[in-house]
Amino acid sequence: MGVTISPSILNCDIANLASEIKKITNADYAHVDVMDNHFVPNLSWGLPVVEAVIRQNILPVDAHLMIEDADRWAPAYAEVGCDSVTFHAEAAVAPIRLAREIHRQGAKVGMALRPATDITPYIELLPEIDMLLVMTVEPGFGGQSFLESMLPKIRRTRDAISAANLQVTVQVDGGISRDTIALAAEAGADVFVAGSAVFKAEDAYNEVEALRQLAKAHC
């Protein structure tokens, strides 16, 4: 199982976006959190900032949409060039149709679940997606502590993927650091979003590498 590191730019200096992303050129993606102050109680940025990150052409973009009406808005993020677009299952009326539309636009599809959302009702949807995001904090704010109570859910997700013989990755987002990444990797995660841990480190590049090596040792 490979390891993917996707640092969240939510915790970077957005006024110096290009230079901040250049600090993490050894990462696999730049993770961009889009929040609308409706689905989650916070407002970040939308399509223009995502397009700005894409135009930098430094890293592919992994967009995490914490927004209402995902059916309407998510395809636009694929259309502008995101490599991966993740919508929340709780915000999608027709998740299969949405996943197929995102694929039609040329992007990979991720589906995210809040901590309280059970994976079981969505197991049948796994063949339609490329990644399942298990939130390891309540979505909406960076810098929160990792919820170890999510580890059994990560394991159930990985077991369901393996049982179906699918090539679906398991992403974790929230509180990922040197102290927690091994726990998530051992449980079955292979895509790791880290925000504060990377951009508040003395050397973001070295922090990405340290997180990658810790995850590799426990996958």
More confident residue, 192 or 143: 192
Rg (CA), the chain: 16
Q: State mean pLDDT over 202-214.
A: 98
Of the candidates 62, 130, 173, 190, the residue annotated as catalytic is 173
Q: What percentage of the chain's residues is helix, strand, coil (to nearest 5)?
A: 45, 20, 35
- For the stretch 12-31, pLDDT in tens is 888 898 999 999 999 999 99
- For the stretch 65-97, pLDDT in tens is 999 999 999 999 999 999 999 999 999 999 999
On the question of pLDDT at 142 being above 70, the answer is no
Q: Is 173 a catalytic residue?
A: yes
Note down the domain range covering 116. 4-218
| Mean pLDDT estimate for the chain | 94
- For the stretch 146-186, pLDDT in tens is 999 999 999 999 999 999 999 999 999 999 999 999 999 99
In this prediction the pTM is 0.95
Of the candidates 28, 33, 130, 190, the residue annotated as catalytic is 33
Q: Is 71 a catalytic residue?
A: no
Task: Dig out the tokens for 185 from the structure.
Answer: 């990797």
Domain count of the fold of the chain: 1
Residue 191, domain CATH: 3.20.20.70
